[in-house]
Amino acid sequence: MHAFQLIVHAMREALTAELDSHVPADRVEADALRSIREFLRAEPQPFSRKTLSGHITGSAIVVHVDGPEILLVRHRKLNRWLQPGGHVHEHDASVLATAIRETQEETGHAAGITPWLDRILHVDVHEIPVRPGEPAHLHYDIRYLLAAARNSPRIPEEEIMQAEWFRELALDALDLDASLKSAIASAMKHLKGWQMADGRW
């Protein structure tokens, strides 16, 4: 194998192992998990944006290190609040690395894996509508639970209008999609379990 093929193979094997150990929260996520595993097994270049039918993406549910707040970004074109995330780049060592990098790029916050969950938090498959030069396609999204400290938000990405921290009760007013609500619910479940065990928050 060439070096690039070896990297893709290693990432595929690592992600497959992560997916094998992931327990979906409900039937919808279970269907997404099955679709991602089938795609990962069948597609020669599952991480490449050049795979026009769809590709693996990495995103993050970002929580505040000192309290139960969630960091979301407002997408300019979609005009919706979403979790930070995006496409896998060639220099990303893993899909987790993608989620961490995208969080930094879209919010200006340096985030890292949490002590509460060091593996996949949630998965989703969603359609991206047609754009100039790009057909409609699927994002096979792998979501991780990351933590970050509050700082002055810096929004270098043109696609992002705003990045903001939200407490759990404020999320209901944002009209989030069902999959993001499910991912946040999974995150809060892990956080509250850790809170009970550790006595913090």
- DSSP, residue by residue, 100-132: HHHHHHHHS--EEE-SS--SEEEEEEEEEPPBT
pLDDT score recorded for residue 1: 52
CATH code (residue 36): 3.90.79.10
pLDDT tens digit at each of 201 positions of the chain: 566 678 888 999 999 999 999 999 999 999 999 999 999 999 999 999 999 999 999 999 999 988 789 999 998 877 899 999 999 999 999 999 999 999 999 998 889 988 778 899 999 999 998 888 889 999 999 999 999 987 766 665 677 888 999 998 899 899 899 999 999 999 998 887 655 445 454
Q: What is the rounded distance in angstroms from the CA atom of residue 94 to the CA atom of residue 154?
A: 25
Q: For residues 93-106, b (16+ Cβ closer than 10 Å) or e, as one string?
A: ebbbbbbbbbbbeb
Q: What is the pLDDT of residue 195?
A: 55
Q: How many domains does the chain have?
A: 1
DSSP letters spanning 7-30: HHHHHHHHHHHHHHH---SSHHHH
Tokens of 162: 């705003």
Q: What is the extent of the structural domain holding 181?
A: 3-198
Q: What is the pTM of this model?
A: 0.91
